[in-house]
Structure 1
């Protein structure tokens, strides 16, 4: 089988590696527009659930992949300067460049032909391939070319985001909420290496404009955010890497394939980073597509149908959770009056997928705090 993969991100590389391992005689070519070392993010987060899928798919790769990860088993919600600890939330973090490096090496080891600085965006130019995998990201050019077939839909959300790094090490995954005279700022922070953390800043568009960030330069925005989160950064700087303000775009597609072309990863469906599951979903997609093409070697349409059937429900479920999570963040100003414990509890319940009993089982100490605060409020209300 001849397979062309457009896009050398986690989804495209992981699929290529798995497919080549299982079918060494297949010809697999990855076309990546950038250099091998080009990346514009900071860190990537995986939950223990996500890592279990990778271990099951390929344990040897899993060991290489996680060898240098930073790990923690709790997260913190910081509200009104108070950090509320949420235990038994396991996370494994690595830099995006290390993630790509491990995948690139795995592809070389298995014989995948990865062609960097190769801008390929037209499946019609790959007519001699049996399968074309469009893994070219959330702004997929392949999906745009074939939009009438894939029927994509886009939900551009209102909040503004800027990706920063910092040398301040946030060992737990930390969500920090800071009120300013202009409005609420949010930071999503986590350590991903021995020396650096990701620091993603989020703000609503009205606050963003009131602060003058709509006309600020990249460096001016960085300096402003440093001031907002000065207490949390403890004197460490924010670092930029094409840290321009952007809005989250939730992408979905009515159809996942057309002829011999199939969408994969963020080209297929984006899951917002507030759930920390985008890379996980992309790599799970890669596992499922490899499995489907391995079962239906002689029938590509059947393979694509099997791939979609195996992943559609999970995709819809995660996107629904992502929208609810986004709704929570976009209306967080209405919750800032809550005490820190109640605020953290509201956050954990934001998607409707985690019940009170689920939290009690996961973190009984936290639920004791929640119930103690509720009891105190009830007593005050009856005075």
Structure 2
């Protein structure tokens, strides 16, 4: 099959490799408008379910991704830098540029033709393509040209946010909420790679304007954020540029498509759907898309049947994640409803922002704030992580 994949992000690159692994006879070209390694943002988070899928699908790239990843344990929620509460659990994070490098090298190893510095504006460039995979992100220009056919719906979140880095290394997934005279502003931070953490600052629109972020330049923005979060940054700096140009304030783009297929085209990853960054699932869902689409192409000789099953099953599987993401985004957009609480109560409300919780859960949450209980939970988490790593066959050197 002659396959053209537009976009060399995680979805496009991993699909190309996954399809080649299943049928080396596929002729696959990945086309990317940006240069190699170009990416917005710093690190991405993921969980054991993604590692399980990576090891099952392609151990070669899974080993490299795991080796490039950092494990963080616990989440800490801080209010005014002093009042803290904790949530148990662990996760993984990996620098996005490192992830793309690994995926691009693996695709090349499998004889995928990856072409950079090439923008695609018209699909007539590919008259011989049996399948065109559109994987060029939430702002996909190809999808926009066929918005009516895909039934595309685009909405913008209300809160401005900016995706930065910092040389302060956070060992936990950290939330810090600071009260200013103009309103509340907060950040989400987690380790991305050696010596660097991802740092996402967010606030409500009224606070953003009152603090002057709509008028400040890049350097002034960083200095003000460093001043507001001075205690948490502990003398460290914020970093704006991740690919040669400074980060800018954005509003989250919610993408929904009634169908992910049209003729011989199919949408995957953020081009097909987005989930708010506060649930940490965007990259995982993109890679799951890639695996499932490759598997459907293997299962069915008829392309139309493969795309139909991918579309229907994908929409059904995504429904819960998108619902959870919308609830999470709405909670942060209305965070000032909860800021009159102490850190324990605030943290508990945040942890239940996208699902109901039984009455006894709050007493359990209070119990887990005890240092000895937290240490016991960390040990339990270490044991669980070790067992899962052995089950999927992770290298012991990791």
Kindly state the Cα deviation for residue 213 of structure 1 after the two structures are TM-superposed: 0.9
Where 1:274 maps in the other structure, the secondary structure is: helix
Determine the C-alpha separation between the residues in 1 that align with 2:209 and 2:65.
Answer: 41
Where 2:15 maps in the other structure, the secondary structure is: helix
Q: Is 1:321 aligned to 2:324, yes or no?
A: yes
Question: Residue 360 and residue 18 in structure 1: after superposition, are their counterparts in 2 closer, same or farther (change >3 A)?
Answer: farther
Structure 1's unaligned 5+ residue stretches are: 370-383
Instruction: Give yes or no for contact 2:6–2:31 (8 Å, CA) kept in 1.
Output: yes
* Cα deviations by residue, 1:276-324 (Å, 9 ceiling, x for unpaired): 000000000111111111111x311111111112211222211111110
Instruction: Give yes or no for contact 1:134–1:261 (8 Å, CA) kept in 2.
Output: yes
Instruction: Give yes or no for contact 1:155–1:249 (8 Å, CA) kept in 2.
Output: yes
Question: Residue 104 and residue 148 in structure 1: after superposition, are their counterparts in 2 closer, same or farther (change >3 A)?
Answer: same
TM-score of the two chains, using structure 1 as the length reference: 0.92
Where 2:13 maps in the other structure, the secondary structure is: helix
Kindly state the Cα deviation for residue 265 of structure 1 after the two structures are TM-superposed: 0.4
Residue 146 of structure 2 is matched in structure 1 by: 146
Which of 250, 254, 258 does residue 246 from structure 1 map onto?
A: 250
Determine the C-alpha separation between the residues in 1 that align with 2:221 and 2:205.
Answer: 14
Q: Is 1:289 aligned to 2:290, yes or no?
A: no
Instruction: Give yes or no for contact 2:84–2:344 (8 Å, CA) kept in 1.
Output: no
Where 2:154 maps in the other structure, the secondary structure is: strand
Question: Residue 358 and residue 6 in structure 1: after superposition, are their counterparts in 2 closer, same or farther (change >3 A)?
Answer: farther
Residue 88 of structure 2 is matched in structure 1 by: 87
Residue 232 of structure 2 is matched in structure 1 by: 232
Q: Is 1:56 aligned to 2:53, yes or no?
A: no
Q: Is 1:262 aligned to 2:281, yes or no?
A: no
Question: Residue 61 and residue 353 in structure 1: after superposition, are their counterparts in 2 closer, same or farther (change >3 A)?
Answer: farther
Where 1:251 maps in the other structure, the secondary structure is: strand
* Cα deviations by residue, 1:14-63 (Å, 9 ceiling, x for unpaired): 00011111111110000001111212211111122222222222233211
Instruction: Give yes or no for contact 1:79–1:176 (8 Å, CA) kept in 2.
Output: yes
Residue 120 of structure 1 is matched in structure 2 by: 120
Root-mean-square deviation (CA), in Å?
Answer: 1.8
Instruction: Kindly tell me the number of residue pairs found equivalent between the two proteins.
Output: 366
Question: Residue 99 and residue 359 in structure 1: after superposition, are their counterparts in 2 closer, same or farther (change >3 A)?
Answer: farther
Instruction: Give yes or no for contact 1:76–1:86 (8 Å, CA) kept in 2.
Output: yes
Residue 313 of structure 2 is matched in structure 1 by: 310
Instruction: Give yes or no for contact 2:83–2:342 (8 Å, CA) kept in 1.
Output: no
* Cα deviations by residue, 1:325-354 (Å, 9 ceiling, x for unpaired): 011001111101111111111011100166
* Cα deviations by residue, 1:197-242 (Å, 9 ceiling, x for unpaired): 0100001110111111111111111111111100100000111122
Question: Residue 313 and residue 365 in structure 1: after superposition, are their counterparts in 2 closer, same or farther (change >3 A)?
Answer: farther
